[in-house]
Chain A
Amino acid sequence: MTIEPRIRPFGERGLLVELGETFDERAIERARRVADAWERLHVGAAVPAYASVVLGFAADLLTPEEAERRASEIIASTADARSVGAAADEQPADRRTVEIPTRYDGPDLADVATRSGLSVDEVVALHTGRTYTAYFLGFQPGFAYCGRLDPRIVAPRLDRPRERVPAGGVAVADGQTGIYPFASPGGWRLIGSTDLVMFDASADEPSRLRAGDRVRFVPR
């Protein structure tokens, strides 16, 4: 569902731009475009997510009113769906494909299969059979929200998040899949694991995945 974009104050140094209210690939793409355009102004950082972008600005560079005006201009410039894919950095050739070697040994795999009315092998085949898009990163350094999961895989978030998910956990939840870069509490369902290092602070580009990447899970 498309709504009219809204700009809301987020403290005195930020704005929240809402581009929609649902999980929708077009809104994700537009959020990324708005964030890129904002960062080109060099007034502060931007954080895109599913259907929103947070725009930060330093008080000595912009007033809130100026920030809202610049945000409105950027939103208007990204309104045309055709312009969305037209920017130079959005050419398909620039999109990398990252393979994630995965052992399908997660503690929730059997439960996900049961909920989905599928066999374990069928869940694995559906999970490995798609190329996903890394929508945006958040939650942890290097954690990419990837989608879209085959709708036949039924995996709501856990009612009670686990206190500790191991690093490298491959998980699914609500139409998405992702890899936990670090051990942490987590509410997604674990179907597998990988030894791939997803975030390495000593690397030039520390995160294995960046927004826009294509992602494939390869069974091991």
Chain B
Amino acid sequence: MANYRCPMCRKICSAHLDLARHYLGQTDKKHKEWLKTQGLSYATLIKAQVTEFGNKGYQALADVLKKTATEVEEG
């Protein structure tokens, strides 16, 4: 089973959605800045997540992480 590493720290998750959830829980500058490089904004993602039912914010980030997160071997 594949695992994916957070672009900005050592956190590893088995699903992109979980990784997105981890990512948006980080409030340091480093994490927020990387989002900008991907054409995203922390505030916009959070707003999407909290103002609409469904996982809108996390899903949008997960879609980007699918293309950018490094795959890591299990074990």
Q: A and B, one complex?
A: no
Interface residues of B, Cβ cutoff 8 Å to A: none
Interface residues of A, Cβ cutoff 8 Å to B: none
